[in-house]
Chain A
Amino acid sequence: VQLVESGGGLVQPGGSLRISCEVSGFTFDMYWMTWVRQAPGKGLEWVANIKEDGREKNYVDAVKGRFTISRDNAKDSLYLQMNNLRADDTAVYFCAREVVGAKGVLESWGQGTLVTVSS
């Protein structure tokens, strides 16, 4: 099982960025997937998750209306489109796989991609 995030970088406040998570070693379309973030020196914050078929999505209030989680099961990839970025969105963003039948149990994690929002 491998999860590899990419697409992080430096973006100005108000800007947009799309980060990706490419997976391998398992049948992607059988799993809910999650994004979790960690601001520098801070704890973990759950951001969003998406159902196996992409038809159900959930978000933390802090990103609702600005971030969109999506997936392409044909490409074994998970995405997070981030718009209207703010300084407090600066964080390492991890993708994680949820255990089948046990939502909220994040059994596999990627190494993370750093998003820095600064002018």
Chain B
Amino acid sequence: DIVMTQSLLSLPVSPGGPASISCRASQSLLHRNGNVYMNWYLQKPGQSPHLLIYMGSIRASGVPDRFSGSGSGTDFTLKISRVEAEDVGIYYCMQGLQTPYTFGQGTKLEIK
């Protein structure tokens, strides 16, 4: 199974400041079709998770452009250019290259 590792479990950020969340996969998520099967989800307090970024860098419908995803192979980053209060929650990376799909442990973003 592919192991997804989010090294930061908690990330305090000042409002308006940038945030960066990293995720490492135990093997490359690059498919032979050229796609990178790396997704990011946000679970706000008391809610179901929702999709933020897929294929490494494509924002899901309705996701503000302050969110961006980057990376290739095994190392990926989710960036928030200017954190807002509504961004608090737990951010999960997830690989969709092969089943079983696997999630990282989650990084909890908090406002200072």
B39 within 8 A of A: yes
B55 within 8 A of A: yes
Which one of A13-21, A70-78, A82-90, A104-112 is at the B interface? A104-112
Number of interface residues of B (CB under 8 A): 27
**B46-80 interface code vs A (CB 8 A; 1 in, 0 out):** 00111100110000100000000000000000000
Known: A43-B105, A44-B103, A61-B100. A104 touches B49 (CB 8 A): no
Contacts of B41 in A (CB 8 A): 44, 106
Known: A104-B37, A104-B94. A46 touches B106 (CB 8 A): no
**Complex-state Cα separation, A49 to B100, whole angstroms:** 9
Number of interface residues of A (CB under 8 A): 23
Q: Name A95's closest neighbour in chain B (CB-CB).
A: B48
28 contacts between A and B (CB under 8 A): A34-B101, A36-B49, A43-B90, A43-B92, A44-B49, A44-B92, A46-B94, A46-B99, A58-B99, A58-B100, A59-B100, A61-B1, A102-B54, A104-B95, A104-B96, A104-B97, A104-B101, A105-B39, A105-B51, A105-B54, A105-B55, A105-B96, A106-B49, A106-B94, A109-B49, A109-B50, A111-B48, A112-B48
**Complex-state Cα separation, A10 to B43, whole angstroms:** 25
B102 within 8 A of A: yes
Contacts of A106 in B (CB 8 A): 39, 41, 49, 51, 94
**Complex-state Cα separation, A43 to B103, whole angstroms:** 8
Contacts of A34 in B (CB 8 A): 101
**Complex-state Cα separation, A107 to B101, whole angstroms:** 15
Cβ < 8 Å to B, chain A residues 79-119: 94, 99, 102-107, 109-112
A60 within 8 A of B: yes
A53 within 8 A of B: no
**Complex-state Cα separation, A44 to B60, whole angstroms:** 19
Considering the complex of A and B, which 7 residue pairs feature the smallest CB-CB distances, nearest first? Answer: A104-B96, A58-B99, A46-B101, A60-B100, A109-B48, A105-B54, A44-B103
